[in-house]
Amino acid sequence: MQGAGVIEKVEEKEISQIKISYFIINMLNNNMQVMIPQDKISNSGIRLVTNANDLETILSSIVVSEERTDIDLNYKERYQTNLRKVKSGDLKENSEVFRDLTILNSKKPLNSSEKQMLNTAKKLLIGEISLVKNISETEAIDIVNSIIA
């Protein structure tokens, strides 16, 4: 769950006299650099950013409505469901977590675990918006804030 990243280059390294090509990926959320072997990329959980049309569909689904019912699950069930969704790496599922916890937070204060999960979901969403729309993080934050206002 590192969020959006950009492949900066492909680099070849020799380990035990075997040359291995690595993707060098700069993660936007935490200024971390990740090296993934090219032959392991398909099993790494890394995906391409969402296309612009899908992003707009996902953003329109975030509209905060008080009619949500799955936020009424007990804390443990809700937390496990939301954790699975955030860890999936799927932007749609992440946006559902963001939406549902935002609604719940408007009804009652979130506990510290759910606050942290809401912040994580929001950061992941902002990173994706920033990359897809080629805008600054500040502009992406403004988009997210306008959706939930």
Residue 98's pLDDT band, with cuts at 50, 70 and 90, is: very high
Tell me which of 54 and 28 has the higher pLDDT.
Answer: 54
The string of pLDDT tens digits covering residues 48-59 is 888 999 999 999
The structural domains of the chain, ordered by start, are: 1-46 (2.40.10.170), 48-148 (1.20.58.1290)
Burial class (CB in 10 A: 0-12, 13-18, 19+), 128: buried
Computed over its alpha carbons, how large is the radius of gyration of the chain?
17
pLDDT of res. 9: 92
State how far the alpha carbon of 64 is from the alpha carbons of 97, 113, 149, in Å. Answer: 12, 21, 8
Contact yes or no for 75/110 (Cβ under 8 A): no
